[in-house]
A and B are shown apart, each in its own frame.
Chain A
Amino acid sequence: MNSVILATASRYLLTLILMFSVFMLLRGHNEPGGGFVGGLVAAAAFALYFIANGLDAARSILRVDPLRAAVLGLLLSFLSTVPSLVSGQPFMTALWIDTGIASIGKVGTPLLFDFGVYFLVLGITLTIIFALAEEECSL
């Protein structure tokens, strides 16, 4: 699509939507949101950028292969279960550390798990979108 307005806007929108997706990710523990929704929103940001600027531009601004991002997400989620295994608690028990900083509060393994879900959803969604886009371009 060749639209100057969309192409220009998408550059600013990308940053904004990505920030929003992180906001969604972080508020997810007690309120609507979380890794899954955050990942979808982030994927939407890149999808918009791809529609405005083309596949190559979207791939280069993402920097990593989306499948890699998905694997990284799985790895993060996997790592979030390790503390419970090592400390002898039942598998996947949530462990928290109180940072003592008022604006951050308690940080724990569920947050790591959510980060994993975020990257997994982002990676898989973009893998699918890019694969479909490639097919369309080659036709």
Chain B
Amino acid sequence: MNRIIILPVLVPFATALIMLLFPRRIAAHRLLGVLSTLLLSVVSAILLNSVLSGGILSLQAGGWAAPFGITMVVDTLSCIMLTMSSLIGLTTAIYSIGSVDEKQEHNFYHPLIQLLLMGINGAFLTGDIFNLYVWFEVMLISSFVLLVLEGKPEQFEGAIKYVTLNLLSSAIFLAAVGILYGMAGTLNMADLAMRLPLLEHRELLSVVAVLFLITFGIKAAVFPLFFWLPASYHTPHIAVSAIFAGLLTKVGVYAIIRFFTTIFTLESTPLIHQILLWVSAFTMATGVLGAVAQYDLRKLLSFHIISQIGYMIFAVAIQSPLAIAGGLLYIVHNIVAKTNLFYLSGIIRLISGSWNLRQIGGLYATYPLFGLLFLVPALALAGIPPLSGFWAKLTVIRAGLEAQEWLAVGVALLVSMLTLYSMIKIWNEAFLKDDPRGEDTGNRGQEYHALSSGKKIALIAPVVILGMLTILSGIWFEPLFVLADRASLELLDASIYSKAVTGGMP
């Protein structure tokens, strides 16, 4: 059973290799991309099933025992994240068939997406901090290339900010890893969780924790380190934006959750959790305020990513089992809804010929069903019952009330209103108001109608799949909550995790 732990990394790697061996077979690339992500989904389902029935799985690469070798660990949280990354990988692979043009495909678009998935999955799997750094780099290098694949000037402008900030973050990461290793003598997460409470010289513990917080804060785009995100996320191709929006920042959030529950607990670094609380409130507020002011669809949605990250960080800051469960639900809901919104905005662009809300209008009159498809993730993001976002938000806010963090809860509620406002703004501008170009809509939708029906299906299918998931996870919310609850209990009791990896000995 343990052997399949490595498959979420190996499958995309092998797929990318096969694609690179036949660099000119674009049709095969598309097919392989879908097949590989389908296989990934199956593997994550099997992993989820076996973790739920048999507890945490671990694998020692090369047979080197735990604190010395590289450990791969699959607990419930990893399983949830792996499932999400396979899902987004699958929908993006389908969506790319419809939206990405052949020039980019010849420039290794499909292999790069596979390598990106490999980095993301590796980060979710690893149980070793230095190995986490390596997976971050794998993910980042693929994302650098994907960001500038079309070679437009604004992409390079965005990429410079993106690359600089991420390299800085990697440097801080390495420094923190070095200090931590000097203090504790180990980088295995399970081993660290056992050793840190027993550490004699704890002076630097808070410093290291803050360094890790900055590193992952940059990757997760929290206040005040988020500014690379709105500067770069609207520049690449929309399919790339969608997978970035869905998964990349969430890897940062995943790392924050992993580090500040299992390794740096509330008792060992109380300062960090105070900082996290303030950071989360400001992240929620600044993100949504930025979104409200935007008229470019992609920029608006990019600012929303930041605002939503705030809710997840808020959950980590509170640290009660309910809060962590709520935070995980929020991640799941947000990955699905956010990616969906980016897919939809790509289709809006094809139909109306513009990203700018001022120049779009009247979509509801011509495409009423499409309007409904948009409403599902938009209302879910704002937290309207019975969609998935409502339950996630409810759980987080309930946990906040129990922890008596009135101020942050107030901010969270206010931000919800503003989120709803900005979603209504898209609805009003793009769907309800009359087309600003008046009756003369000669070339409206030309780009969309010029596509073959196969490509149209490839564009719409991912939106329908993710929309259905948003609705279904809202209606059958309970199994999801049980899953998140289980993950949060594992996270807060580090001994379960450590026992599964090292056998519980410090």
Q: Report whether A90 and B59 are in contact in the complex, using a CB–CB cutoff of 8 Å.
A: yes
Q: Does B464 contact A (CB under 8 A)?
A: no
- Contact present for A75 and B62 (CB under 8 Å): no
Among A78, A85, A93, contact of B62 (Cβ-Cβ < 8 Å): A93
A94 within 8 A of B: yes
Q: Is A91 interfacial (CB-CB < 8 Å)?
A: yes
CA distance A93 to B20 in the complex (A): 26
Q: Which of A78-127 contact B (CB under 8 A)?
A: 78, 81, 85, 88-94
Q: Smallest Cβ distance from A91 to chain B, in angstroms?
A: 4
Bound Cα distance from A88 to B59, whole angstroms: 12
B3 touches A88 (CB 8 A): yes
CA distance A74 to B21 in the complex (A): 10
Q: Does A71 contact B (CB under 8 A)?
A: yes
Chain B residues positioned under 8 Å from A75 (CB to CB) = 17, 21
Contact of A78 among B2, B13, B59, B60 (CB under 8 A): B13
Scan A54-82; emit 1 where CB is below 8 A from any B CB, else 0.
Answer: 00000000000001000100110010010
Chain B CB count within 10 A is highest, among A71, A74, A89, A90, for: A90
Are B20 and A91 within 8 A (Cβ)? no
A71 x B62 contact (CB < 8 A):
no
Contact B17 A91 (CB under 8 A): no
| Mask of B12-24 contacts with A, CB within 8 angstroms, 1/0 | 0110010011010
Note all chain A residues with C-beta closer than 8 A to B20: 67, 71, 74
B6 within 8 A of A: yes
Contact of A71 among B10, B14, B17 (CB under 8 A): B17
In the assembled complex, the CB of A16 is this many whole angstroms from the nearest CB of chain B, namely 32
The answer, yes or no, to whether B153 is at the interface (CB within 8 Å) is no
Residues in A with CB closer than 8 Å to B3 are: 85, 88, 91
Instruction: Say yes or no for B417: interface residue by CB 8 A criterion.
Output: no
Q: In the complex the two chains form, what is the Cα distance from A78 to B59 in whole Å?
A: 18
Q: How far is the CB of B263 from chain A (nearest CB, A)?
A: 24
B63 at the interface (CB under 8 A from A): yes
Report the nearest B residue to A89, measured CB to CB. Answer: B63
Contacts of B63 in A (CB 8 A): 89-90, 93
A-B contact pairs, 18 of them (CB 8 A): A67-B23, A71-B17, A71-B21, A75-B17, A78-B10, A88-B3, A89-B63, A90-B59, A90-B61, A90-B62, A90-B63, A91-B3, A91-B6, A91-B59, A91-B61, A91-B62, A92-B62, A93-B62
Q: Which residues of A contact B (CB under 8 A)?
A: 67, 71, 74-75, 78, 81, 85, 88-94
Binding site for A on B (CB under 8 A): 2-3, 5-6, 10, 13-14, 17, 20-21, 23, 59-63, 72
Q: What would 18 more interface pairs be, CB under 8 Å, given A75-B21, A90-B62, A93-B62? A: A71-B17, A78-B10, A78-B13, A78-B17, A81-B10, A85-B6, A88-B3, A90-B2, A90-B60, A90-B63, A91-B3, A91-B5, A91-B6, A91-B59, A92-B61, A92-B62, A93-B63, A94-B62
